[in-house]
């Protein structure tokens, strides 16, 4: 991917656009940024780095203010402090349990008014307007004298959306509102598994590529691609946190598709589907041809290729990706991938990623 798609980090925290801004950063040193807040929404997608995120604990600040206002002048300071600390720990544990892949830093309870999270690849943080936060070098949690240099590059996407643009999108569909609504309820941190993260990164790169060209329809494509990125991110986070199960009333075709999607890394065949759903093979063949215009085999191949593509874009080696999705022979995988996407697997990864993204 062209080097100019990577931005040089600045400490600027104001938007230049009235709609959205998107940046990809890869830094070997972390520039100190004070606790700050925005007048817009920030969507932070973490990829790599020895970094913790500190977020203002607004629930505890409100709690402390309420406690202070209602306390008598002779309230025991030790008791008040213990109550405040307990409140912070409970909130931190709640945040961690509602986002299973978020690791709460041991120092999270060291400050009553701060939550501190140790980040892992695929973490998505949504900061609504007014919520103070900043990233710090992980070792700085215990020693502010440590060098700002990092053991591994600090890589992330930062996506800013203005309140004005957000309202425009929500007026089109309330589907755009899930992540921002959760953030307003102080549910800031979410997580995406590698395949879903790869899909999001692919769309983010498409936005960056469009930002850097001046072809016909530039502004219209930017709005299209940015809204697609936002909705894709929202969909994958929502579906990761709300597992949708097929019930008995769902039609047979829906059950078949769900089964295939959930078993793409397993052995799949027409015989296995027929045995599992107690229907004839001819019925399944007929349903796929009528509804999708594809054979069962072709549908499975397309879904597996898409899975391989997403894994590769999220940094999984090609040799591991194709085996994960049941392509035991690289030659067959190579031919199928080239036929589907027009490029070899290596060419596709080189085109759709940028320096450092697949390390």
Q: pLDDT value at position 179?
A: 97
Pairing of strands 41-48, 20-29: unpaired
Kindly report, residue by residue over 53-109, the tens digit of the pLDDT: 999 987 765 545 555 555 545 444 444 333 334 433 333 333 333 444 444 433 343
Q: In the predicted model, what is the mean pLDDT of residues 301-318?
A: 88
Kindly report, residue by residue over 138-156, the tens digit of the pLDDT: 865 444 445 555 567 899 9
Three-state SS string across 138-204, please? HHHHCCCCCCCEEEEEEEEEEEEECHHHHHHHHHHCHHHHHHHHHHHCCCCEEECCHHHHHHHHHHH
Whether residue 316 is predicted with pLDDT greater than 50 in this model: the reply is yes
**Candidate ranges 177-191, 207-221, 268-282, 341-355; pick with highest mean pLDDT:** 177-191
Q: pLDDT value at position 293?
A: 85
Q: How confident is the model at residue 314 (pLDDT cuts 50, 70, 90)?
A: confident
Q: Where are the alpha helices (DSSP H) in the chain?
A: 58-70, 77-98, 163-172, 178-184, 194-211, 218-241, 252-262, 270-277, 281-292, 296-313, 318-324, 330-341, 345-352
Q: pLDDT value at position 20?
A: 97
Kindly report, residue by residue over 226-268, the tens digit of the pLDDT: 999 999 999 999 988 886 554 443 478 888 888 898 888 888 9
- d(CA 313, CA 197) in angstroms, rounded, equals 9
Would you give the distance in Å from CA 125 to the centre of its chain?
8
Would you give the distance in Å from CA 316 to the centre of its chain?
16
CA-based end-to-end distance of the chain: 13
Alpha-carbon dihedral 109, 111, 94, 76, rounded to 10 degrees: 90
Q: How confident is the model at residue 328 (pLDDT cuts 50, 70, 90)?
A: confident
Q: pLDDT value at position 87?
A: 38
Whether residue 332 is predicted with pLDDT greater than 70 in this model: the reply is yes
- d(CA 199, CA 229) in angstroms, rounded, equals 9
* pTM check: above 0.85: no
Q: Which of 159, 156, 136, 155 is nearest to 146 (CA)?
A: 136
Kindly report, residue by residue over 5-54, the tens digit of the pLDDT: 788 888 888 999 999 999 999 888 888 889 999 999 999 999 988 889 99
Is 350 or 273 the better-scoring residue by pLDDT? 273
Kindly report, residue by residue over 194-219, the tens digit of the pLDDT: 778 888 888 898 899 899 888 899 99
List of domains in the chain: 3-241 (2.60.120.10), 252-352 (1.10.10.60)
Q: In the predicted model, what is the mean pLDDT of residues 159-165?
A: 97
Pairing of strands 20-29, 149-161: antiparallel
Angle between helices 345-352 and 296-313 (to 10 degrees): 50
Q: pLDDT value at position 244?
A: 57
Is 296 or 74 the better-scoring residue by pLDDT? 296
**101: helix, coil or strand?**
coil
């Amino acid at each position: 991917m062209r080097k100019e798609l990577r931005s040089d980090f600045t400490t600027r925290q104001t938007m230049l656009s009235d709609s959205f801004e998107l940046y990809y950063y890869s830094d070997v040193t972390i520039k100190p940024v004070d606790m700050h807040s925005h007048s817009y929404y920030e969507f932070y997608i973490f990829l790599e780095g020895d970094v913790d995120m500190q977020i203002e604990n607004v629930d505890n600040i409100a709690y402390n203010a309420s406690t202070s206002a209602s306390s008598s002048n002779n309230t025991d300071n030790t008791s008040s402090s213990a109550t405040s600390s307990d409140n912070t720990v409970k909130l931190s544990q709640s945040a961690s349990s509602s986002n299973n892949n978020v690791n709460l830093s041991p120092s999270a309870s060291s400050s009553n008014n701060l939550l501190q999270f140790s980040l892992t690849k695929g973490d998505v943080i949504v900061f609504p307007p007014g919520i103070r936060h900043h990233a710090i070098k992980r070792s700085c949690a215990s020693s502010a004298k440590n060098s700002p240099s990092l053991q591994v590059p600090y890589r992330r996407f930062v996506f800013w959306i203005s309140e004005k643009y957000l309202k425009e999108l929500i007026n089109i569909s309330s589907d755009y509102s899930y992540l921002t609504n959760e953030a307003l309820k102080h549910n800031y941190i979410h997580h995406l598994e590698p395949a879903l993260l790869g899909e999001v990164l692919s769309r983010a790169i498409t936005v960056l590529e469009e930002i850097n060209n001046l072809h016909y329809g530039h502004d219209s494509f930017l709005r299209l691609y940015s809204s697609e990125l936002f909705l894709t991110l929202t969909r994958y986070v929502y579906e990761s946190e709300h597992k949708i199960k097929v019930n008995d009333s769902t039609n047979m075709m829906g059950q078949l598709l769900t089964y295939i999607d959930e078993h793409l890394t397993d052995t799949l065949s027409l015989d296995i589907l027929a045995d599992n759903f107690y229907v004839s093979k001819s019925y399944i063949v007929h349903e796929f041809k009528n509804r999708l215009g594809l054979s069962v085999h072709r549908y499975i191949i397309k879904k597996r290729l898409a899975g391989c593509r997403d894994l590769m874009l999220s940094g999984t080696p090609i040799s591991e990706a194709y085996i994960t999705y049941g392509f035991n022979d690289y030659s067959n995988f190579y031919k199928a991938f080239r036929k589907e996407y027009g490029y070899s697997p290596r060419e596709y990864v080189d085109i759709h990623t940028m320096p450092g993204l697949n390390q």
